[in-house]
């Protein structure tokens, strides 16, 4: 109820596609695409998406998702987000390689070898807003600094659009959802979703691949090179 567009797929004639991957956690999604880039100042462009979309809350759009995104660099990006959970957990990104992994969190990052030993750590800047502002001002002066320009940032929007091209939003059956009232506010969470996401994260699987009883097969969308706006599928249908 915080905004008229919260949890909506569209408001009137305007597409919204509000969701964890297109709102609260869109930054994390963009980070992953950026980390999949072929070079230091590039991001990976999604070319194909498998998507599972769900809602436990009474909203049209998704509050939970599992995504497998193939990028043009050949690096797969896997995503599990939910707002329909009993316990809040901080976001975490892992870059997995043959010699170890890098773990990113909002509290800092670390490099681990294949045995899980911490090789190096990177703290979070004390004043992140100041850092962002300094970079923006340096770019305005013409200094050689990196910032995510619209060409890079638009890949998150491209991904969110393609996710909804790939799959409809499925309702999690009531027998798998708890709906307690807490401080006068009705909550909704998918029973055991925290453990399910942790398992999916470890095994790099989508929810239906784990055999979860409420999960449905993923939808798939191959993104055309000339993909220009949402919804592509509706445009192609009307052109026929």
Q: What is the pLDDT of residues 128-148, one digit of tens each?
A: 899 999 999 999 999 999 988
Q: pLDDT (tens digit, 9 = 90+) per residue, 209-236?
A: 999 999 999 999 999 999 988 987 665 5
Contact 87, 81 (CB under 8 A): no
pLDDT, position 51: 98
Rounded Cα distance between 186 and 172, Å, is: 17
pLDDT band at 240 (very low <50, low <70, confident <90, very high): very low
Rounded Cα distance between 35 and 152, Å, is: 12
pLDDT, position 233: 63
Residue 38: DSSP 8-state: S
Rounded Cα distance between 29 and 115, Å, is: 27
pLDDT, position 181: 85
* Total length of the chain: 240
71-78: average pLDDT: 97
pLDDT band at 109 (very low <50, low <70, confident <90, very high): very high
Helix spans in 72-192 (H): 128-141, 150-166
pLDDT, position 235: 55
């Amino acid at each position: 109820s915080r905004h008229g567009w919260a949890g909506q797929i569209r408001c009137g004639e305007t597409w919204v596609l509000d969701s964890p991957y297109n709102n609260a956690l869109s930054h994390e999604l963009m980070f992953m695409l950026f980390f999949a880039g072929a070079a230091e100042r590039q991001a990976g462009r999604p070319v194909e998406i498998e998507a599972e979309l769900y809602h436990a809350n009474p909203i049209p759009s998704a509050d939970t998702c599992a995504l497998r995104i193939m990028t043009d660099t050949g690096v797969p990006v896997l995503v599990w987000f939910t707002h329909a959970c009993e316990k809040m957990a901080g976001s975490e990104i892992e870059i997995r390689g043959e010699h170890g992994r890098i773990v990113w969190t909002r509290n800092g990052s670390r490099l681990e070898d294949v045995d899980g030993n911490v090789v190096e750590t990177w703290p979070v800047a004390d004043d992140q807003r100041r850092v962002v502002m300094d970079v923006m001002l340096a770019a305005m002066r013409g200094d050689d600094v990196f910032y995510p320009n619209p060409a890079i940032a638009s890949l998150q929007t491209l991904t969110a659009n393609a996710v909804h091209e790939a799959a409809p939003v499925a309702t999690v059956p009531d027998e798998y959802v708890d709906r307690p009232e807490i401080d006068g506010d009705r909550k909704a969470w998918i029973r055991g979703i925290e453990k399910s996401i942790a398992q999916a994260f470890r095994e790099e699987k989508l929810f239906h691949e784990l055999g979860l009883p409420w999960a449905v097969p993923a939808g798939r969308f191959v993104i055309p090179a000339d993909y220009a706006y949402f919804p592509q599928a509706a445009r192609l249908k009307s052109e026929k």
